[in-house]
């Protein structure tokens, strides 16, 4: 197993179990203790994990609340919501991700005749007065920090529907680590949606470039459109051109 893939698997394993010993990781990933030590050090340096005696543990940091995140860069998020909504057409079957940026699409698509799959609780509540919106909830466990439903296995639901456009949120993106989020419970859902959807739109405001969340749910190359509130960094423009990703942002 290549190093980056192994570190990602270790990250997922520790996130799920909260803590893991060196010996446990050596056995699970079938590598030497020195290799595991180096991998652990890299995870610790990212800031989401800490060393404990004989192993590693997840940092006990709570996610910033949905309400606190909602007021940050509000103008930029509103612009992103408007830009992304221009790609929604009557008859679409779309996915709306959790997040404070994706909710900004609502005002622009509330009169469309579309089917929306979503785990975004605020989006579901706002949709009640609008009969042209056919809402399908993912259901599951309430994740209060993201104001969303989460569940350990959403894949059966998504095998039923042909999603032609997915509008995804992110905690942060980077060229090396891809598209990340801070809720381990939501990672599986996001991965399933990216794999299932015909077109993936990543809604990311300018503050989230070169930032990392706890877990990677897809690579940037898996995205078809990046929608942002400002002109993106040159290195991301180059990457987008090389991987046939469309950039939607102010000139």
Q: In this structure, are 121 and 142 located in the same domain?
A: yes
Residue 165 predicted with pLDDT over 70? yes
Q: What is the 3-state secondary structure (H, E, C) of the chain?
A: CCHHHHHHHHHHHHHHHCEEEHHHHHHHHCCCHHHHHHHHHHHHHHCCEEEECCEEEECCCCCCCHHHHHCCCHHHHHHHHHHHHCCCCCCCEEEECCCCCHHHHHHHHCCCCEEEEECEHHHHHHHCCCCCEEEEECCCEEECCCCEEECCCCHHHHCCCCCCEEEECCCEEECCCEEEECCHHHHHHHHHHHHHCCEEEEECCHHHECCCCCEEEECHHHCCEEECCCCCCHHHHHHHHHCCCEEECCC
Please state the pTM of the whole predicted model: 0.73
Label residue 50 by pLDDT band (50, 70, 90). Answer: confident
Q: In this structure, are 87 and 17 located in the same domain?
A: no
Of the chain, the percentage scoring pLDDT greater than 90 comes to 50
CATH number at residue 29: 1.10.10.10
Q: pLDDT by residue (tens digit) across 223-236? A: 999 999 999 989 99
Range of the domain at 91: 66-248
Domains identified in the chain, total number: 2
Q: In this structure, are 232 and 161 located in the same domain?
A: yes
């Amino acid at each position: 197993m290549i190093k980056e893939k192994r570190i990602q698997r270790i990250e997922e394993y520790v996130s799920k179990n909260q803590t893991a010993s060196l010996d446990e990781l050596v056995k699970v990933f079938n590598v030497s203790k020195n290799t595991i030590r180096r991998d652990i050090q890299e995870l610790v340096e990212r800031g989401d994990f800490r060393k404990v005696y004989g192993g590693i543990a997840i940092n006990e940091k709570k996610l910033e609340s949905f309400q606190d995140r909602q007021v940050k860069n509000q103008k930029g998020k509103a612009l992103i919501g408007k830009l992304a909504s221009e790609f929604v057409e009557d008859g679409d079957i779309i996915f709306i991700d959790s997040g404070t940026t994706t909710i900004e699409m609502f005002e622009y698509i509330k009169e469309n005749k579309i089917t929306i799959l979503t785990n975004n609780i605020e989006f579901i509540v706002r949709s009640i007065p609008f009969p042209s919106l056919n809402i399908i909830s993912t259901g599951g466990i309430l994740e209060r920090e993201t104001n969303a439903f989460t569940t350990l296995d959403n894949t059966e639901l998504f095998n039923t529907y042909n999603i032609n456009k997915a509008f995804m949120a992110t905690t942060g993106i980077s060229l090396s680590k891809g598209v990340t989020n801070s809720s381990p419970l939501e990672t599986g859902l996001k991965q399933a949606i990216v794999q299932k959807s015909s077109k993936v739109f990543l809604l990311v405001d300018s503050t989230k470039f070169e930032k990392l969340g706890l877990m990677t749910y897809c690579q940037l190359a898996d995205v078809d459109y990046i929608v942002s509130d400002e002109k993106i960094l040159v290195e991301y423009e180059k990457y987008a051109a090389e991987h046939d990703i469309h950039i939607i942002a102010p000139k």
